């Protein structure tokens, strides 16, 4: 199967590089972005339409919803029935769903397949990809996606991949804000921020960070006979103790810590213990 890749930026270029060879057709508006892949055996296309005519699966990694819609319009006008159009950009969930509706009369299947792992994961071929689409479309994408992704998951129908990515990135970027709050507390305490960062990266690599408590299949309250009940009770005791101590220190130093205060009030509920006596 010929595979197409459109958008060879910081993420797209290393992703496509893992597929480079005679079966890969690539396009980017910047000629220099294409050269590294043609040197590895890929075929350079002169337009989006040329990629669409040649490939059975077309990956798109462009900047935003507007660019996705622009590129998709060209693909729909040129691709043959049976083509799978995979959108790797992080877009609105409804954009993927609307695009799938537009593609249906053409016999083209759309999957939204955003990725997680950054340019480092793209370069190493160890990304996670969250795929929304029909089981049939996923089956056609799973093998080529596996060339640049270590974790390939079918999340559900079109839009499910993007909804997963948005939930994942909510955690990611809220954690950045929490990291800034922690750094303010550390700095006011006279702690080296660089050494704090080393500790955080080291311990998160061992424990899995915030993902280590994402063990439940539902956010409903835990029943006392649930096997996770005792674990979450233990996590609650440790977390509430440490948050209380951190807030006491913040008050002593005059450091504003609104996320920590909010976390303390919602900590038990987040663990599924909201209806339980501490």
Question: Which of 164, 186, 202 lies at the terminal end of a domain, its last residue?
Answer: 164
Same domain, 112 and 25: yes
Q: Known catalytic residue: 22?
A: no
The pairs formed by 104-109 with CB atoms below 8 angstroms and a separation of 24 or more are: 106/76, 106/79, 106/81, 107/80, 107/81, 107/82, 107/83, 108/75, 108/76, 108/79, 108/81, 108/82, 108/83, 108/84, 109/82, 109/83, 109/84, 109/85, 109/133, 109/134, 109/136, 109/137
Count of other CB atoms within 10 angstroms of residue 118: 12
pLDDT at 274: 75
Asked if residue 152 belongs to a domain, the reply is: yes
176 within some domain: no
Task: Tell me the pLDDT tens digit for each residue of 77-125.
Answer: 999 999 999 999 999 989 999 999 999 999 999 999 999 999 999 999 9
CATH number at residue 241: 1.10.1040.10
Average pLDDT over residues 28-36: 93
Given CA atoms 111, 116, 119, 121 in this order, what sign does their dihedral have?
negative
Contact 38, 46 (CB under 8 A): no
Would 16 be classed as within a structural domain? yes
Looking at the structure, do residues 114 and 246 belong to the same domain, yes or no?
A: no
Residues 233 and 154 in one domain: no
- Residue of 40, 165, 195, 241 marked catalytic: 165
Judge whether 178 lies within some domain: no
Is the torsion defined by CA of 105, 155, 98, 145 positive or negative?
negative
Asked whether residue 31 is domain-assigned, the answer is: yes
Same domain, 45 and 155: yes
**pLDDT digit string (tens) for 130-170?**
999 999 999 999 999 999 999 999 999 999 999 999 999 99
Q: What is the residue whose two structure tokens read 């609650």?
A: 236
Q: Is 169 part of a structural domain of the chain?
A: no
Average pLDDT over residues 43-64: 97
Q: Match 């199967």 to its residue by tokens.
A: 1
- At 1 the pLDDT is 79
252-262 pLDDT, tens digit per residue, is 999 999 999 99
Q: How confident is the model at residue 276 (pLDDT cuts 50, 70, 90)?
A: very low
Does 148 lie in the same domain as 24? yes
Domains: count for the chain: 2
CA 9 to chain centre: 17
Please write the tens of the pLDDT for every residue from 228-266: 999 999 999 999 999 999 999 999 999 999 999 999 999
Q: Which of 104, 132, 164 is the last residue of a domain?
A: 164
Domain that holds residue 92: 3-164
| Residue 193 within any structural domain of the chain | no
Report the chain's mean pLDDT, rounded to a whole number: 96
Q: Are residues 52 and 157 in the same domain?
A: yes
Residues 125 and 222 in one domain: no
d(CA 80, CA 1): 14
Same domain, 134 and 256: no
Of 103, 133, 164, the one marking the end of a domain is 164
Q: Are 33 and 6 in contact (CB under 8 A)?
A: no
| Residues linked to residue 43 through DSSP beta bridges, in sequence order | 25
Residue 272 lies in a domain: yes
Nearest Cα to Cα of residue 113 among 154, 63, 71, 80: 154
- Same structural domain, 148 and 237: no
Taking phi first (over 0 means left), then psi (-120 to 50 degrees means alpha), and beta for anything else, what does residue 225 get?
alpha
Same structural domain, 130 and 266: no
CATH number, position 120 = 3.40.50.720
Q: Could you tell me which of 71, 80, 54, 53 has the C-alpha nearest to residue 12?
A: 71
């Amino acid at each position: 199967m010929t595979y197409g890749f459109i958008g060879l930026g910081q993420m797209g270029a290393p992703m496509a590089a893992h597929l480079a060879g005679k079966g890969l057709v690539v396009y980017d508006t910047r000629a220099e972005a294409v050269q590294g892949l043609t040197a590895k055996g890929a075929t350079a296309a002169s337009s989006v339409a040329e990629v669409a005519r040649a490939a059975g699966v077309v990956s798109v990694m462009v900047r935003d919803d507007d660019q996705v819609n622009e590129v998709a319009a060209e693909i729909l006008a040129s691709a043959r029935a049976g083509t799978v159009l995979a959108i790797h950009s992080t877009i609105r969930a409804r954009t993927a769903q609307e695009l799938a509706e537009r593609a249906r009369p053409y016999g083209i299947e759309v999957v939204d397949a955003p990725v997680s792992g950054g340019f480092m994961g793209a370069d190493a071929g160890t990304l996670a990809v969250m795929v929304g689409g029909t089981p049939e479309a996923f089956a056609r994408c799973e093998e080529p996606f596996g060339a640049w992704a270590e974790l390939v998951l079918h999340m559900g129908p079109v839009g499910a991949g993007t909804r997963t990515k948005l939930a994942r990135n909510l955690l990611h970027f809220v954690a950045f804000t929490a990291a800034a709050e922690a750094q303010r507390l550390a700095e006011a305490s006279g702690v080296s921020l660089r050494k704090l960062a080393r500790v955080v990266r080291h311990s998160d690599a061992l424990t899995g960070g915030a993902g280590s408590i994402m063990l439940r299949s539902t956010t409903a309250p835990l029943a006392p006979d649930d096997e996770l009940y005792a674990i979450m009770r233990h996590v609650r005791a440790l977390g509430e103790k440490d948050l209380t101590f951190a807030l006491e220190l913040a008050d002593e130093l005059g450091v504003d810590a609104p996320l920590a205060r909010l976390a303390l009030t919602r900590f038990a509920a987040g663990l599924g213990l909201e209806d339980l006596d501490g």
